[in-house]
C-alpha cells in the first residue's frame, strides 16, 4: 500500500483524515471540518497539505477550507463539479468515474447522492480504502436531506459492493449510537451483538471504532441488510421490497431516541 492514513477528532465528533502518499509525500485532507486542528496535525507529522478532497457541501465538512488554503497555498481543492456552486472555490471539479491523483496514489470518484445530491466518495482501489463522508457510517448511514431514500439506498449499494477487505473511513464517530439502533432492527444477528460489545469496549478505552471494513458493514449494518428476511421480520415488513424496508428503517432511525 502506498498511502498512510491519520485519523483524529475535529469539532465534537467529526473525523479529521489525512491521506499521505509515502512515495511522493503528497498529502490530502478529506474534508475540512476544522482548519486549525487539521493544519496542526499535518504540520506535526511533517505532511504539508497538497490536496483537499471534499465529499459534500455541509458546513462541518468545508468550514476549514479558507484557513487551510492560506496555510498551504499550494493545496489543490477537489470537489464535485455539480456542487461547485455551493462548495468553496475548486481547483479540480470532478464527476462520477473520474480519477484523482494524489502523488503516486489514485482515487476513483464515486457519486453517492442521498445525504446531499452532490455527495461523492473517494475510493483508492490499490490501497483498499474508501473515504465515504456522510454517505455510509459504521453501523448506519447518513440522513437523507436531499434526493430520495431510493437514491440513498442505491448509493449505499455502490459502496457495499466494493471489495470486502476495503477499509472504510467515515466522516463521524457515530458507531456506538448507531449500534443501539441497529440491534432493534436486527436483534437475532449474533455478529452484530459481538460487534456492539467490542465497540463499547473501544469507546470506554477512549479509542476510535474506525476504520471499519466493507465485509464487517455488510454483516452488521442494518441499512445494508434490508433484503435479509430476519431484518424484514424485525421491521414487521416480511413481504415488503428492500427499498420500502430501507425507507421505513431510515424514518425509524430519524426519530430513534435510544
Residue-wise pLDDT tens digits, 69-87: 999 999 999 999 999 999 9
Euclidean distance between CA atoms 231 and 73, whole angstroms: 50
pLDDT of residue 224: 98
Across 59-72, average pLDDT? 98
Euclidean distance between CA atoms 58 and 115, whole angstroms: 10
Across 210-236, average pLDDT? 98
When pLDDT is cut at 50, 70 and 90, the band that residue 186 belongs to is very high
DSSP string covering 28-94: EEES-S-HHHHHHHHHHHT----EEE-----HHHHTTHHHHHHH-TTPEEEEEGGGGGGSSPPSEEE
> Residue 90's closest CA among 127, 100, 158, 36?
100
pLDDT of residue 90: 98
Across 132-144, average pLDDT? 98
Across 91-97, average pLDDT? 98
pLDDT of residue 248: 98
Across 29-53, average pLDDT? 98
Does residue 56 surpass a pLDDT of 90?
Answer: yes
Task: Cite the active site residues.
Answer: 56, 58, 60-61, 115, 134, 172
Quote the cell numbers at residue 245: 424496508
pLDDT of residue 82: 95
Quote the cell numbers at residue 98: 473520474
Does residue 162 surpass a pLDDT of 80?
Answer: yes
pLDDT of residue 1: 63
**0.75 exceeded by the pTM?**
yes
Across 186-197, average pLDDT? 98
Amino acid at each position: 500500500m502506498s498511502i498512510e492514513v491519520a485519523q483524529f477528532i475535529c469539532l465534537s465528533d467529526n473525523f479529521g483524515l489525512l491521506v499521505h502518499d509515502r512515495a511522493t509525500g503528497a498529502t490530502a485532507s478529506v474534508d475540512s471540518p476544522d482548519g486549525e486542528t487539521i493544519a496542526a496535525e499535518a504540520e506535526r507529522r511533517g505532511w504539508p497539505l497538497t490536496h483537499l478532497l471534499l465529499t459534500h457541501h455541509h458546513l462541518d465538512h468545508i468550514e476549514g477550507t479558507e484557513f487551510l488554503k492560506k496555510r498551504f497555498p499550494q493545496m489543490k481543492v477537489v470537489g464535485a463539479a455539480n456542487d461547485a456552486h455551493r462548495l468553496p472555490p475548486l481547483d479540480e471539479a470532478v464527476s462520477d468515474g473520474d480519477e484523482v491523483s494524489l502523488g503516486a496514489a489514485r482515487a476513483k470518484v464515486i457519486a453517492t447522492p442521498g445525504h446531499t445530491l452532490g455527495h461523492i466518495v473517494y475510493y483508492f482501489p490499490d490501497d483498499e480504502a474508501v473515504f465515504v463522508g456522510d454517505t455510509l457510517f459504521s453501523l448506519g448511514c447518513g440522513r437523507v436531506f436531499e434526493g430520495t431514500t431510493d437514491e440513498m439506498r442505491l448509493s449505499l449499494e455502490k459502496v457495499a459492493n466494493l471489495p470486502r477487505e476495503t477499509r472504510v473511513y467515515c466522516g463521524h464517530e457515530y458507531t456506538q449510537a448507531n449500534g443501539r439502533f441497529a440491534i432493534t432492527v436486527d436483534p437475532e444477528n449474533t455478529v452484530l451483538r459481538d460487534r456492539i460489545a467490542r465497540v463499547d469496549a473501544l469507546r470506554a478505552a477512549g479509542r476510535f471504532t474506525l476504520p471499519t471494513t466493507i465485509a464487517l458493514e455488510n454483516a452488521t449494518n442494518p441499512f445494508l441488510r434490508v433484503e435479509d428476511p430476519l431484518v424484514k421480520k424485525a421491521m414487521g415488513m416480511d413481504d415488503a421490497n428492500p427499498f420500502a424496508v430501507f425507507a421505513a428503517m431510515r424514518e425509524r432511525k430519524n426519530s430513534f431516541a435510544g
